[in-house]
Amino acid sequence: MADKLVQDIYDQEEDTQKGKYLTFSLGNELYGIEIKHVTEIVGLQPITEVPELPDYIKGIMNLRGKIIPLMDVRLRFKKPFRDYNDRTCVIVIDIDDLSIGLIVDSVSEVISIADSEIVPPPELNKVGNRYIKGIGKVGNEVKLLLDCDKLLLEDEANCLTSIIE
């Protein structure tokens, strides 16, 4: 009986997060991440560089005693680097058992997007689209919805896990 109650509470929690996305910008483009992946949002902290990582992994930061690798999402998407400023944020997400910080230009808001307002990404370039789970229509805007599980390849995740352990 207790197990069923715990599962019911968990299911309700999942339901309240369903269809909710944290939106952020990279230049003029708007993106969204399912809120269930987001742990917290923090300002940019001092970054410790780690040699021989891909260029989009800027290094690691110490967040209240926990070591978090930092990915510059602009560089991950092959966009030009932009100097960090007071609007630059780190969105800490959990991918499997790894916490990672996503460096973004700015965070916007949490919005709800119904499944009926989400369309699959175009099939033009599967490699470039592998990070995009769908395109959300919100009023007159579109938000590119990221697939957090595909931001890191398995070997990249294993490499980062070995660094922080």
The two three-digit tokens of residue 160, written as one number: 């980062």
Q: What average pLDDT does this structure show over 161-165?
A: 74
Measure the CA–CA gap between 24 and 21, rounded to whole angstroms.
10
Give the residue carrying structure tokens 């483009």.
Answer: 29
Instruction: Report pLDDT digits (tens) over 86-112.
Output: 999 999 999 878 899 999 999 999 999
Instruction: Report pLDDT digits (tens) over 21-64.
Output: 999 999 999 999 999 999 999 999 999 999 888 899 999 999 99
Q: Determine whether domain 15-164 maps to CATH 3.40.50.10320.
A: no
- Which of these, 67, 57, 63, 65, lies nearest to 42 by C-alpha position? 63
Measure the CA–CA gap between 31 and 36, rounded to whole angstroms.
15
Domain range annotation of the chain = 15-164
Q: What is the mean pLDDT of the chain?
A: 86
Number of neighbouring beta carbons within 10 Å of residue 72? 23
Q: What average pLDDT does this structure show over 110-125?
A: 86
